[in-house]
Amino acid sequence: MPAVSAVVTGAAGGLGAAITRRLHADGHAVALADVDGNGARELATALDATGRTARGYATDVADRSALTELLDAVLADLGPVEVLVNNAARTRATPLFEITPEELDEVMSVNFTGTFQACQVFGAHMAERSYGRIVNVASLAGQNGGTATGGHYASSKGAVMSATKVFARELAPRGVTVNAVSPGPQDSPVVRDIVGEENLESFQRAIPVGRLGDPAFIADVVSLLASPGAHSVTGACWDVNGGLHMR
């Protein structure tokens, strides 16, 4: 059984899958948590058919009890958790005044509440062991108010960045760092669907570097923040947005 493990939420596809593959390549045993349990298990099997270094779990991060059950399962299956990547998110591009209370709750419960609760559940576990790395996936939308995504998505990601600082301050004395990565538009099915293939060329021209981001590079950034050598980086937000937001 591996000595330590990394948990990635929203791991069944897209950016979460890229991050999971990178952490597994780094030598972590990976726990793939996703509301799409079948997708998480399929990717886990592709990474390690034996299940010794990769396991998939059906998990709704909006449900705190599901997160505590996830921690218990990972401890039993893969060992103590030293890395948590909060990537699970719902992306919606609904016009601002058409967002219903139900859709607002749906987006916030996953993007913000899910991240906050996971930081509580896994952060407490890491603090008990005096070591841990938490990386929250924020978004350019949370910094500039969003352009292609909905106002609820942008608001949830802004809240994630604030929560990152709150947990970083609380957990720093216990050997746990908490950071955020803030991607701009990535070359992913979600972005292509929101923008539309017919608008993609003009959309990319509006990005200073002239191209969409690479999810594999975001995974590289997460890997660096999740490494033992990143002990002096906490409460930070690393921007990877092609120059769309400079500070």
- What does each C-alpha distance from 46 to 21, 56, 131 come to in angstroms? 10, 11, 29
- 3-state SS assignment for residue 136: strand
- d(C-alpha 55, C-alpha 195), whole Å: 33
153 is catalytic: yes
Beta bridge partners of 133: 83, 177
Nearest to 222 by CA among 68, 86, 60: 86
Nearest to 203 by CA among 111, 96, 88, 93: 93
- Residue 91 CA, chain-centre distance (Å), reads 13
Q: What's the start-to-end Cα distance of the chain, in Å?
A: 44
Catalytic entry in 57, 116, 122, 153? 153
User: What radius of gyration do the chain's Cα atoms show?
Assistant: 17
Which residues carry out catalysis? 153
